[in-house]
Amino acid sequence: MNIIKASEISDLSATGDTVIIDARGGADAEDRFDTGHLEGALFVNLETDLSDKAEHAADGGRHPLPDVKKFALLLGQLGVTPETTVIVYDDKRGAMAAARFWWMLKAVGHQEVYVVSGGLEAIVNEGLVVSQDSLELLTEYPGYPAEAWLLPTVDLAKVTEASSDPNYVIIDVRENYRYNGESEPIDLVAGHIPGAVNIPYLGNMGEDGDFLSAEVLKAKYAEALKGHAPEKIIVHCGSGVTACHTLLALDEAGITGANLYVGSWSEWSRNDKPIVTEV
How far apart CA 125 and CA 121 sit, in angstroms, is: 6
Instruction: Reduce the DSSP state of residue 38 to 3 states and report it.
Output: strand
Altogether, the residues listed in the chain come to a count of 279
Report the alpha-carbon distance of residue 200 to residue 210 in Å, rounded: 15
Burial class (CB in 10 A: 0-12, 13-18, 19+), 77: middle
Catalytic residue list: 237
Give bridge partners of residue 43 from the DSSP assignment: 22
121: left (phi over 0), alpha (psi -120 to 50) or beta: alpha
∠ CA 165-168-173 to the nearest 5 degrees?
Answer: 120
